[in-house]
Every structure is written in C-alpha cells, then in structure tokens.
Amino acid sequence: MAGQGTPATALLAKRKIAHRTHPYTVDPDAANYGALVAAALGVPPERVFKSLVTEVDGALTVAVVPVTGELDLKALAAAVGGKRAALADRVLAERATGYVRGGISPLGQRKRLPTVLDASALDFVTVYVSAGRRGLQLELAPADLVALTDARTASLATR
C-alpha cells in the first residue's frame, strides 16, 4: 500500500517474504493499547505481539510477547543466558531501533538487536507485529519472523 513503507516492510519485500499490512486507528496513549489494536483488527489478541526493548546484563535485547500477557523478565534473562533483565529506557530503545514507542517492530531495526520470541507464536499460522510505525501492523508466519530476526523462542509471557 502506498505511503506505508517502513524499514520492516522494505525488508520483507526485499526478502520476498509473504506478509500483509493492516492499518488501524488506536490512541497510542490508551490503556491496554495491544488489546485495542487486536480489537481494531478483528483478530484474537493472543495473535498480536508487542516488541519490548530490554536490557539484559546491560545489552539491548528485544522481547516479542503477546499483548495478552506481561513480559517475565527473569524468563527473558534465562533465555539469553543472562542474570538480570529490565525494560530499556524509551529514548535508548527508540534510538537503537529507529522506531518510536508504540511502533517498534522486531524487523528492520536501525541496529539489529538480539531477539527472543514468545514460544506461543509458534501455535499460529500467522501472527501480528508492528510494521514500524503506529497505526500499521504486519501479519506474517512466525517461522519467517524467527528467520528474519534470528530469534530464539522461549516462554516469556505471564498470562
């Protein structure tokens, strides 16, 4: 779709990865933003994933978890062989990824960060992640998401 290109969609096009884009309108400051995005798209919220930039033992790491759960920081640290994890500072996350909060995609980041995808994504034929800007989601196969990000999979979300 014209005017919706992002580094994430450009990467998918370049690699010829099957995907669909889905525009939506949700207030980025709304409580329970992820659930509202799922409702706007008309899909089950467990198929919509948020990308959270974290620091594990001081190294930036992306955790991709369903919007229906919260990130288990201890599980994330264990998944990457670290001891301590915390959410990264918003400015640092935006600077490293090249995206703004509410639009951080696991794909096409300015600096490719280690990524861990919640294992529940593998239960679906396709999942939804940010396309790299607020108001636009990507739908793609979880196996393609893993391949493009070199992601590890682990149980990361509390439900």
Residue 3 has pLDDT above 60, yes or no: no
pTM: predicted TM-score of the whole model, two decimal places:
0.94
SS (H, E, C) the chain: CCCCCCHHHHHHHHCCCCCEEEECCCCCCCCCHHHHHHHHHCCCHHHEEEEEEEEECCEEEEEEEECCCEECHHHHHHHCCCCCEEECCHHHHHHHHCCCCCCCCCCCCCCCCCEEEEHHHHHCCCEEEEEEECCEEEEECHHHHHHHHCCEEECCEEC
Residue 11 has pLDDT above 70, yes or no: yes
Which region among 2-11, 85-94, 130-139 has the lowest average model confidence (pLDDT)? 2-11
Residue 2 has pLDDT above 60, yes or no: no
Average pLDDT of 27-45?
A: 90
Task: Quick: pLDDT tens for 50-66.
Answer: 999 999 999 999 999 99
Residue 1 has pLDDT above 80, yes or no: no
Give the rounded percent of residues in the chain with a pLDDT score beyond 90: 85
The predicted structure's pLDDT at residue 4: 60
Residue count of the chain, please give it.
159
